[in-house]
Amino acid sequence: MKMCSVRYEFQAKSVLTSAKRHTLSECRNMVTASSNAAYVLNSSAQEPEEVLKELIVRLLTIDCTED
């Protein structure tokens, strides 16, 4: 839990349960999309709300064919 900066066990269980529903490729693409959004939020003048909207759409459309 420390490695992932998760404070509470229920948070880790929730993430792991959700992750089991996806392939490794899908999880990798979701983490990459989240990381890219975090970078944009911290390094650009883009509106945070727009960045988060784009991230949500991206996460909802990720499938295992993307690598």
Q: pLDDT at position 9, please? A: 81
From the centroid of its chain, how far is CA 39? 12
Q: Structural domain boundaries of the chain?
A: 22-67
Residue among 4, 18, 58 at smallest CA distance from 34? 58
State the Cα–Cα distance between residues 45 and 36, nearest whole angstrom.
15
End-to-end CA distance of the chain: 27
Distance CA 6, CA 1 (A): 5
The predicted model scores a pTM of 0.69
- Residue 2: φ, ψ to 5°: -60, -40
pLDDT attached to residue 1? 52
Question: 7-51, pLDDT tens digit by residue?
Answer: 778 877 887 787 788 888 888 898 899 999 999 999 999 999 999
Residue 55 or 4, more confident: 55
